Structure 1
Amino acid sequence: MSAFNAFKANVPVPWSPNLYITLVRGIPGTRRLLRRTLEALRLTKCNRNVIRWNMPTFRGMLQQVKRLLAIETEEMYNARKLKEANHRALRPSLVVNHHSSPTINSSS
């Protein structure tokens, strides 16, 4: 469950020492203050991840640009990565035999 969906569902998000931050919206067209905040967070391109400490200074910066970001705790990030790895995992090949096996007639 993403942090935003947890917020909408009023589910308490577990506290984590680290926050995993992903830039999901583009930078062009944003105000200079927001661009400078993203530069300070080291987020320069879409779909890039950074790990930051869960401190009030970083949370204040994230509050400014929250509509451009996806913020996850360690537990949520690890669960999402595990789900993606399971989705990409190789599956056993499906073998289909279209030829029927020969039947042996024992009527002699």
Structure 2
Amino acid sequence: MPFARRVSPMPFCPTRKTAARRCFARRATRDCHIILRGGRVPNYDAHHVAEAVQLMESAGLPARIMIDCSHANSGKDHRRQPVVCHNVAHPDCGRQPGDHRHDA
């Protein structure tokens, strides 16, 4: 899971001008989200959004999903970004058949 480390305490080791490094313990944060940027294929369709929601919920986190309309989701072609944005804004984006969780 891309966010698993953020939910667990992490060491923080800032870079200093001297060669010495000091590490500090940091509290875990539950404030995280998943960004769907695409990969070999775009990942802003209902299946991929539902998968991201399930990952967040199974970790006991709020399902905060951000969809990137550029990068691989648009084939790295800025002219396709409006098409991706339109598809993301479609009412069925992120729904699976029979899923009524998002109904008003």
Tell me the TM-score normalised to structure 2 length: 0.25
- Which has the higher relative contact order, 1 or 2, with Cα contacts under 8 A spaced 6 or more apart? 1
Structure having the larger proportion of residues in helix: 1
Tell me the TM-score normalised to structure 1 length: 0.24
